[in-house]
Structure 1
Amino acid sequence: MNVETQKQILLARRAEITGDLQEIEDQLDETPTKDWEDRSSERQGDIVLEALGNKELDELRRIDAALDRISNGTYGVCVQCGEQISDARLELLPATPLCKDCAV
């Protein structure tokens, strides 16, 4: 497993999420319309945007934790049992902190 390649993948995904979160924040900050019916639709859209934002914030936290593990030399080691995480699992889920057995 090439850790530097994984780091670049994580950094690229982090940049993508950061951009998405900025777009979500901009949309949520838009001035609401004065029409009550339109405002109701906008509120429903805001709820969806907030849920997406929360999901992306969770992923961002996982990515940051993985980047920390890379920095301290523990990337690829399961944080629960201490066993190596398979290369295939890390390629599929580069931010995963758990081996397949502990993830169950």
Structure 2
Amino acid sequence: MTSFDPHSRLAILAAEYAARAEAIRRDLARAHSADFAEQAQQRQNDEVLEALLAEATAAQRQVALAKMRLAEGSYGQCLRCGQPIAPARLQAMPAAEFCLGCADLPA
């Protein structure tokens, strides 16, 4: 079993989300067809891309906040109850803000 290094895992995630967001921005910036029917389909695709971009941007923010918590020494502590977040949860979701019990609670 390999040991979990939050610094490197968060850096990898940040790079992945940045690359994903950049690729989506490039797709959104491309010109649309002059054909009306094709342009309508492209506009629908743009809506999907915009939703994906919003998800990638939100994930980038979560990773940035996790990196701040890591630098401050509070990484791995639940932001709601203050208890430690299970190591398995952090390995699966390195930017997790809440322990499993608090993650199930309504916001």
TM-score range, shorter chain: over 0.9
C-alpha RMSD of matched pairs (Å): 1.2
The alignment's TM-score, normalised by the length of structure 2, stands at 0.90
The alignment's TM-score, normalised by the length of structure 1, stands at 0.92
Alignment-mate amino acid for residue 93 of structure 2: L
How many positions carry a matched residue from both structures? 102
Deviation at 1:16, TM superposition (A): 1.0
Deviation at 1:23, TM superposition (A): 0.9
Q: Report what 2:6 is aligned to.
A: 6
Q: Report what 1:94 is aligned to.
A: 94
Q: Distance in 1 between matches of 2:29 and 2:78?
A: 40
Q: Which runs of 5+ in 2 are unaligned?
A: none
Q: Distance in 1 between matches of 2:6 and 2:63?
A: 11
Q: Distance in 2 between matches of 1:65 and 1:81?
A: 17
Q: Report what 1:77 is aligned to.
A: 77
Q: Distance in 2 between matches of 1:100 and 1:22?
A: 32
Deviation at 1:43, TM superposition (A): 0.5
Q: Which runs of 5+ in 1 are unaligned?
A: none
The ranges of structure 1 where at least 4 consecutive aligned residues each deviate by more than 3 angstroms after the TM superposition are none
Percent identity, aligned pairs only? 31
SS of alignment partner, residue 60 of structure 1: helix
